[in-house]
């Protein structure tokens, strides 16, 4: 049976570096926020590919001892976060395939919306899948094409619809492919005589690599000993970078398409202050992803920016925990109100987004319990009213609170003194972009959706 999964992951690759494996470890650690369920590395010494993978965090999976064994001059790596089941070691990437022609390492960030159709078709033609991941489809498609590897890859990618950032490692070649909508971020850089590729530029800073440029929508990059070669697999390509990368996912120190994430979030906060000002005593942000917008909001209204909530650095992201019950428990474990800062104050609370509404409700209660007089909630993104089918963790309507109730009902539900969201125009004005996907805010999906739309529980709308 086809097992539906969403993956919002991180990929990292390096070509031609004597410390390829260790640098991949550090690169993956920098991308840890993109996935905490499992991680893997495939390395090549130029002749043979070796795979190492495990479930858990980067620093839990790779110990010094096993890092020594996975030597190589090229490597690809992955951090994984899966939402709808389908967990387990088998699905941890990169995958390693062997055929008579050689070996192939493969990993992917994103979600292929026509995965079920292609899998059905391939299975009908005799393919047997080892995993429930979308990623494996590319290996099966590659096997069925003719011509040089780049021709086969370009031909295979034409079958796929949706969001993908693929890394493919052969013994002495690295291939990098981005979907024709540019939905997921992917940048390339240089290190010594080699090249690096990563979901976010923060991985380059960590390992001392220099950013070159972003991979373009529909581009396939081939790196070999002669250098870097650019190809395109699709004639029509357009940039629809995921807005949630700017709003929530990416690290503030990363640049997406040459635009800094912190600066974008801060501008969202400034715009939000213009759209929905409050006469308050202090502005506080929900750590970590609400902080940049809170700084912008406070600056625009010349209000004091305060640390009204402190995060316990050693507890994981609450969203990552699979069940709602655990998530609810998690918020308290993670955040604490600073009573002396918020007591008797009119507080503006800034967060980056509301998905299920669990977090804001808990935090508002926490602030009220700590003595806050008023809690005005300002959200630095528009209302998320539509599911995402491109790998972000809300693929059904029923998990989106803003799909079900209006802003005033939500305000009452979370017990906020007032509540407003950034407008879609405000978001577009705040992020210097080359084209954004706004589908979860306005329902205008850049791709066909195939069966995903039925699975999304449309009838409850």
Applying CB under 6 A, the residues found at the interface with ligand SF4 are 183, 242-244, 388, 390, 392, 437, 439-440
Binding of residue 359 to ligand AMP (CB under 6 A): yes
- DSSP helix/strand/coil, 364: helix
For the CB of residue 56, give the shortest distance to ligand AMP in the complex, in Å: 18
**390 contacts which partner out of ligand SF4, ligand AMP, none, CB within 5 to 8 A by kind?**
ligand SF4
Provide the token pair at 418: 């007032």
Provide the token pair at 245: 């990368």
**437 contacts which partner out of ligand SF4, ligand AMP, none, CB within 5 to 8 A by kind?**
ligand SF4
Binding of residue 351 to ligand AMP (CB under 6 A): yes
Binding of residue 289 to ligand AMP (CB under 6 A): yes
Which of 245, 306 has the CB closer to ligand AMP? Answer: 245
Q: Which letter, b or e, does each residue of 112-143 get, where b requires 16 or more Cβ atoms within 10 Å of its Cβ?
A: bbbbbebbeebeeeebeeebbbbbbbbbbbbe
Q: Which letter, b or e, does each residue of 304-313 get, where b requires 16 or more Cβ atoms within 10 Å of its Cβ?
A: ebbebbeeee
For the CB of residue 224, give the shortest distance to ligand SF4 in the complex, in Å: 32
**359 contacts which partner out of ligand SF4, ligand AMP, none, CB within 5 to 8 A by kind?**
ligand AMP
CA atoms within 13 A on the CB side of 97: 23
Q: Can you tell me the distance from the alpha carbon of 401 to that of 134, in angstroms, rounded to the nearest whole number?
A: 28
Options 393, 419, 439, 456; binder of ligand AMP; rule CB under 6 A: 393
Binding of residue 358 to ligand AMP (CB under 6 A): yes
Which of 106, 309 has the CB closer to ligand AMP? Answer: 309
For the CB of residue 290, give the shortest distance to ligand AMP in the complex, in Å: 6
Options 354, 370, 380, 437; binder of ligand AMP; rule CB under 6 A: 354
Q: Which long-range contacts (CB under 8 A, 24 or more apart) does 53-60 make?
A: 53/89, 53/92, 53/93, 53/94, 54/89, 54/92, 55/87, 55/88, 55/89, 55/92, 57/32, 58/25, 58/28, 58/29, 58/32, 59/29
For the CB of residue 172, give the shortest distance to ligand AMP in the complex, in Å: 37
Stretch of residues binding ligand AMP (CB under 6 A), selected from 128-136, 179-187, 389-397, 437-445: 389-397
Provide the token pair at 220: 């396939």
| CA 76 to each of CA 58, 98, 198, 248: distance values in angstroms, whole numbers, following the listed order | 14, 16, 10, 25
Check 9, 21, 107, 440 and give the catalytic one: 9
Binding of residue 356 to ligand AMP (CB under 6 A): yes
Q: Which residue has the tokens 């096997």?
A: 143
9 is catalytic: yes
Instruction: Please report, as residue ranges, which positions from 316 to 345 form the binding site for ligand AMP (by CB under 6 A).
Output: 319
Q: Which residue has the tokens 């909508």?
A: 181
Binding of residue 243 to ligand AMP (CB under 6 A): no
- Residue 124 DSSP symbol: H
Nearest 5°: phi and psi at 67? -65, -35
Q: Which residues are catalytic?
A: 9
Residues in the site for ligand AMP, rule: CB under 6 A?
248, 286, 289, 319, 351-360, 392-394
């Amino acid at each position: 049976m086809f097992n539906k999964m969403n993956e919002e992951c991180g990929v990292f690759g390096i070509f031609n570096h004597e410390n390829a494996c260790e640098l991949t470890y550090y690169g993956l650690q920098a991308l840890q926020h993109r996935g905490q369920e499992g991680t893997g590395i495939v390395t090549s010494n130029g002749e043979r590919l070796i795979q190492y993978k495990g479930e858990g965090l980067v620093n839990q999976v790779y110990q010094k001892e096993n890092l020594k064994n996975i030597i190589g001059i090229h490597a690809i790596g992955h951090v994984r976060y899966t939402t709808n089941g389908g967990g387990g070691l088998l699905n941890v990437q990169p995958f390693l395939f062997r055929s008579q022609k050689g070996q192939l390492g493969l990993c992917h960030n994103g979600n292929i919306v026509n995965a079920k159709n292609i899998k059905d078709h391939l299975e009908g033609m005799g393919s047997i899948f080892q995993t429930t991941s979308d990623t494996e489809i590319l290996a099966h498609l590659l096997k069925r094409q003719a011509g040089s590897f780049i021709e086969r890859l370009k031909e295979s990618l034409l079958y796929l619809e949706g969001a993908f950032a693929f890394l493919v490692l052969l013994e002495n070649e690295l291939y990098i492919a981005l979907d024709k909508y540019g939905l997921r971020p992917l940048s390339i850089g240089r290190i010594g005589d080699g090249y690096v590729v990563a979901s976010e530029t923060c991985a380059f800073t960590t390992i001392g690599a220099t950013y070159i440029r972003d991979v373009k929508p529909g581009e396939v990059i081939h790196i070999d000993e002669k250098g870097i070669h650019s190809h395109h697999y699709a004639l029509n390509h357009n940039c629809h970078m995921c807005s949630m990368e700017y709003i929530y996912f990416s690290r503030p120190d990363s640049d997406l398409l040459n635009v800094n994430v912190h600066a974008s979030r801060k501008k969202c906060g400034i715009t939000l202050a213009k759209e929905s000002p409050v006469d308050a005593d202090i502005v506080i942000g929900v750590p970590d992803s609400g902080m940049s917008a809170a700084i912008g909001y406070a600056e625009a209204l010349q209000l004091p920016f305060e640390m009204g909530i402190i995060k316990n650095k050693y507890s994981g992201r609450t969203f990552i925990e699979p069940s709602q019950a655990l998530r609810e428990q998690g918020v308290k474990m993670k955040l604490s109100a600073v009573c002396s800062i918020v007591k008797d104050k009119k507080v503006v609370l800034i967060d980056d987004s509301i998905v299920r509404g669990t977090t804001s409700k808990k935090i508002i209660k926490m602030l009220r319990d700590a003595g806050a007089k008023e809690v005005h909630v300002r959200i630095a993104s528009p209302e998320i009213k539509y599911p995402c089918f491109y790998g972000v963790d809300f693929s059904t309507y029923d998990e989106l609170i803003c799909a079900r109730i209006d802003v005033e009902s939500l305000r009452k539900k979370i017990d906020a003194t007032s509540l407003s969201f950034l407008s879609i125009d405000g978001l577009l004005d705040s992020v210097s972009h080359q084209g954004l996907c706004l589908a979860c805010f306005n329902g205008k999906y850049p791709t066909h959706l195939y069966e995903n739309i039925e699975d999304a529980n449309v009838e409850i709308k």
